[in-house]
Chains A and B, each alone.
Chain A
Amino acid sequence: MYLRPGTIFITILLACFISGLTGEIKKSPADIFPENIMEWKMKGQPEVYKGDDLFLYINGGADIYQEYGFKEVSSVEYEKNGSGRISVEIYRMDDPAAAFGMFSFKTGGKWKESRNGNLYFPEDYYQNILAGDCLITITSIDINVETEKSARIFREIFEKNISGNSPIPRIVNLFNQEKFEKRLYFEGDLGLMNTYNLVSTESGITNGAAGIKNNSITLLLHYNEGKDIKSAFSTLVNLLKSESRYSKFRLVDGGVSFIDRKKNVVYVTILDRYIVIYIGEKLDEGKIIVKQISDELPLIK
């Protein structure tokens, strides 16, 4: 195979760059942006925002990052001959679970596994990558085929730069990967509300997960250890009873059910330290999902 000298040069540069950065996860994200990536040149210097200052960067959308646990973000744009722009943002979260939560929020619960073992999800003009405690967002500011192609190469570079172990939180794994199209993890009200506007986590929920398939969504709510789960269940049911959007309350096997405004069945039951809420078309489907989750429980303990 013939390689043009330019291609060889770029390949060597890339190889040097990638090998030189392997294992740099302890570095500040600001240190891991290369000046050049192929023909793309860094525009200015990376901006870094830490802690509460995130709202100066994300004016109006910082809350969700803070809810999961945010440390710092580094952001920079790359430009190619003035004809295209790609932005790279690296959000360093408190821990891998927080990063996973934010990642699942931003991808809507969808992901793939990359060759490096990281999770990522490509959309048409942007992609999110999970690497250790970092969430990387790469965006083609100018939407065109060439920019999007380059953005994919950017992903491979940055996920290698910031490689790290990103275990999927155990509660998420209660939703079997093969049976659910989307799986999300939340640690607070915004995450929960943006998944399904149910109740406030001030009622004792520590974290939770959601599994989405077909036209149903199932929520798994985890309560803090000091909370009596039966009492939490009773509080939750009473709360749902008090809301006009739920009607036709009845007792069913091991739980209760309602009908919501969209004629969905809302099935609520207890499973170990969790409360499970199924919102979907059929009660029987809800029961099957609860059984599936129950089968997974011993596997994650």
Chain B
Amino acid sequence: MGKKITRRSFLKNGAVLGASSLLLYEFPNKIYASPKMYPEISVVSGADYYKNTIEAVASLGGMKKYVGKGSKVAVLANPQRPNPGAFTSPLVVSAVINMCLEAGASSVTFISWLPVKSWESTGLKTAVEKSGGKLDIVDLRDESCFKTIPVPEGKVLKEAKVMKKLFDHDLLINIPVTKDHLGNKFTGTMKNLMGLNSPKSNRTFHKSDWKTNRESIIHLDQSIADLNTIITPALSVVDATEFIITNGPFGPGELIKPKKVIAGTDRIAIDSYCCQLWGLKPEDIVMIKKGFEHGLGKIDLSGVKISEITL
């Protein structure tokens, strides 16, 4: 196990590194990962989605590998719409909170600019609060809630507007629901990070006149991959229990129920795995390809150590 880095030393290191903004937004937890001992991706299937989530993280070595004692954990879930299969399952959310608290986290806060109504109608507000987490919502129209962050490796996105609240935390756990997206064809870990970027900035990922041709889809996908170069979640836990494969991301649409929870740190590998759950090929998803080109992870799953368990 790697050396533990406290929040104070993390910030201190950040200050020492000074102008290296990229490192400031790297979360320290990455050093805990021991890929030789554990699978890179853990996939757990079963009817109990709470247990699937617990087991998926346990297979990776447990939450303590990612969450240090006293850590302030930021979590990004997707409460998009109460339509079935269009939001992160409250059971997955509850399991992540409980694991973080058991690992010694001092707080587990869900940060979001989506309105509280979305959290209420999806049942996620109740799940967060009952499990001991907190919900911290910013006004999506208030640009002062977002911090301008340069994107040094960005090919089209040169600066992002990231929620300031993220920087009050020691690490980020990303828990999207994977599903269809009519533009990108797929949404998973990478696209979910748009939930940390301001809606106004996200709007620039799309073409201004809403005419979305091939080039603008590529622009959108590249923007998402670029955004991922400045934010590295300590852990991704993907809800692939029940999700829509048409009319995404909003739904309602055709619902499938693979009953799977996927966890890991390699976003590209996780997204590559998830898209295949409904017959898509990772190399056909521009966003995944662009993320791979950025060196964010592995696109060829034959080179990824995957643990698959059925409960």
Partner-B contacts on A (CB < 8 A): 55-56, 58-64, 66-67, 77, 85, 87, 106, 108, 123-126, 137, 139, 141, 143, 188-190, 193-194, 200-202
Contact = CB atoms under 8 A, between A and B. Distances in A.
B82 A61 contact: no
A218 B104 CA distance: 59
Contacts of B80: 59-60
Contact of B83 (A66, A106, A139): A139
Interface residues of B, number: 33
B203 A60 contact: no
Contacts of B213: 189, 200-202
A60 B82 contact: no
Contacts of A141: 82-84, 121
Nearest to A127: B252
Contacts of B252: 123, 125-126, 137, 139
B47 interface: no
Nearest to A63: B212
Contact of A63 (B194, B206, B214): B206
A137 B82 CA distance: 14
Nearest to A43: B121
A257 B29 CA distance: 55
Dominant SS among interface residues on chain A: mixed
B205 to A, nearest CB: 10
A136 to B, nearest CB: 12
Contacts of A123: 252, 254
A63 B84 contact: no
A139 B84 CA distance: 9
Given A55-B203, A85-B82, A139-B252, A188 B212 contact: yes
A200 B216 CA distance: 11
B76 to A, nearest CB: 13
Contacts of B36: none
Contacts of A194: 182
A64 to B, nearest CB: 5
Given A58-B250, A125-B255, A67 B83 contact: no
A61 B181 contact: yes
Contacts of A62: 210
A139 B254 CA distance: 12
A8 to B, nearest CB: 34
B199 interface: yes
B296 interface: no
B187 interface: yes
Nearest to A66: B210
Interface string B147-185: 000000000000000000000000000000000011100
A84 B80 CA distance: 19
A51 to B, nearest CB: 10
Contacts of B246: 108
A165 B101 CA distance: 57
Given A190-B182, A193-B217, A63 B82 contact: no
A216 B125 CA distance: 46
